[in-house]
């Protein structure tokens, strides 16, 4: 199976590797969710 990523501007990419998703109003929710998950994982590892 082949996955093709289609960006908002119509650009098609075979891989998202190395692509930096810009921080804007429409992407800040995902950045915050990723940060929250990363901090939760870090906190669990530090308390173990």
Q: Where do the domains of the chain lie?
A: 21-48
For the chain, what's the residue count?
Answer: 48
| DSSP string of 1-48, one letter each residue | ----EE-TTS-EES--TTPPPP--TTTHHHHHHHHHHHHHHHHHHHH-
pLDDT tens per residue across span 6-42: 998 999 999 999 999 889 999 999 999 999 999 999 9
- The pTM assigned to this predicted structure is 0.54
Tokens, residue 11: 């650009």
């Amino acid at each position: 199976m082949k996955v093709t990523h289609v960006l908002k501007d119509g650009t098609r990419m075979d891989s998202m590797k190395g692509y930096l998703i810009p921080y804007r109003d429409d992407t800040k929710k995902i950045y915050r969710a990723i940060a929250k998950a990363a901090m939760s994982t870090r906190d669990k590892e530090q308390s173990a």
